[in-house]
Amino acid sequence: MTRIRYLTLLLALLCGTAAAQDFNPESPAEPGEPPQPLVLLVSPAGSGSVAGAGRYVPGSEVRVSASSATGFRFEAWTDTRSTTLSTQPAYTFVKARRADTLVARYVYAPEGPAEPSDPALVQYFTLTLAPATGGTASGGGRYRAGSRVSLSASPSTGFVFEGWFDTGGSCLSAERTFTYVTAAANVTLTPRFRFDPQAPAEPSEPVLSHDIVLEASDGGTASAGNMRLREGSSTTVTARANEGYEFVRWLKDGEPYTELPSFSYTMGSEDVTLRAEFRFNPAAPDEPSMPATKQYAFYLMSVIGVPGETSLYPVYLTTLDDLCDMTFQLTFPPGLTPRLESVRLSAKAEGYKLSCTAISDTSYVFTLTGGRLPAGNTQLLVFDVPVPESMETGQSFPVKINQVSVSEPDGDHLTASTRNGRLYVYQRGDTNGDGRVNLTDKMNLVTYVLGKTPDAFIEEVSDVNRDGTFDLRDCRGVADIINEQEE
């Protein structure tokens, strides 16, 4: 029967009389039915990986699959209009007679919190902290409704903090450190301070004590163990970024001071103003990672390095269409020299001829020719970056990408958007990244092993014995490092 049916169908095709309902998706392609492309995208970029893209005969069954990256949860397969097609990571559908684009959507869920299904629909509202006489405040910025935002107030010498007040004059909290839940509207809060001449700060202290004045840009808070210090004494100063922001640096009296979010400050011979700078992070999981007007985006990541060891540094690419030849320039800080002979292309970039040229002691041009990269999100290549033994720890160093040029299959040459990265250098065992390995790091690691969440924890350097787990053996390893430093 199968042979008879095949001969009947073949005869009908030759005579041009085969009806549309006779098309069998499991049979060879009909004349005039060439394979059509299927493009798979990931939203937001870097939140997962997908498989199944390619060209398929219309009417055939196509199976696609999605895998979540660490800290993300798969939500749904959608079309480009955000219409949900399936909530299962593995999805089988019948290929249409046109080019199809499917989007694997993920939500950021480090502990499984619910997130908006479409980053493009996220709304942000402004929390403004009104200036006030007698002190400073930090924590304002742009946030989603319902966000828990940390606010901090620091009274100047001779003033006391009275409370946080809304525009109606109601006191929301009398605590200097206050967690505020944002509303679905722009809000202004005012920290109030009162001059207290009967309680001046340290009236009996000699003039050799000075004030620390803390400031912070929108998006985070600044705090210090002590706000008034004798010359030569120290206190810990800490910056904490709120949700959707990242810490950039500290300024001391208006000049760049350090990129460490927490550091020990030793008082000099005069008052000092320390300002924490934060920036809204468009690369955060709840934001689109690529401008909607751009078809292509090259981006770098933040990578942790350890002196005396080698770090793997990747370059990622997001594209909404196929790409052919491409070139870009990477610039590294002095002392961090990539091994050009170690560059490895990803599986999706196979077929390219790669050349790497050093144009200076810190800049390198990468050129890929002769291949064709399908649309989607991918790790383009990765290479080794040795971190010298002498490299200062507790610091971060910028890695920049620019001079990007790409060519499309039709021969058009275009540029692409870029996002720079950083390479953070920490000593192994420095679990909180403060530039030192001490008892605090041991207790920090114990807290993590017991299932609690420390204020800061850097996994890449906390696995002291490098066995892929965090346990008491790592705690003993930190203790051994401390003992070696004391000998």
Centroid of chain to Cα 116: 18
Nearest-angstrom CA–CA distance, 236 and 265: 6
Higher pLDDT, residue 32 or 316: 316
Tens of pLDDT, residues 418-451 = 888 888 888 898 888 777 888 888 888 888 888 7
In this model, does residue 292 exceed pLDDT 80? no
The structure tokens listed for 340 are: 């050009």
% of the chain residues with pLDDT over 90: 14
Find all residues with CB under 8 Å of 429, minimum gap 6, and list them. Answer: 437, 441, 461, 462, 464, 477, 478, 481
Higher pLDDT, residue 471 or 13: 471
The structure tokens listed for 115 are: 């997130």
Tens of pLDDT, residues 361-387 = 889 999 999 998 887 778 899 999 999
Burial class (CB in 10 A: 0-12, 13-18, 19+), 221: buried
User: Phi then psi for 45, rounded to 5 degrees?
Assistant: -60, 140
In whole numbers, what is the pLDDT of the chain averaged over residues?
79
Find all residues with CB under 8 Å of 195, minimum gap 6, and list them. Answer: 134, 158, 159
Nearest-angstrom CA–CA distance, 366 and 468: 33
pLDDT of 456? 72
Q: Set out the domains of the chain in order of their start, with CATH numbers.
A: 36-109 (2.60.40), 125-280 (no CATH), 296-425 (2.60.40.680), 441-486 (no CATH)
In this prediction the pTM is 0.43
- What percentage of the chain's residues is helix, strand, coil (to nearest 5)? 10, 45, 45
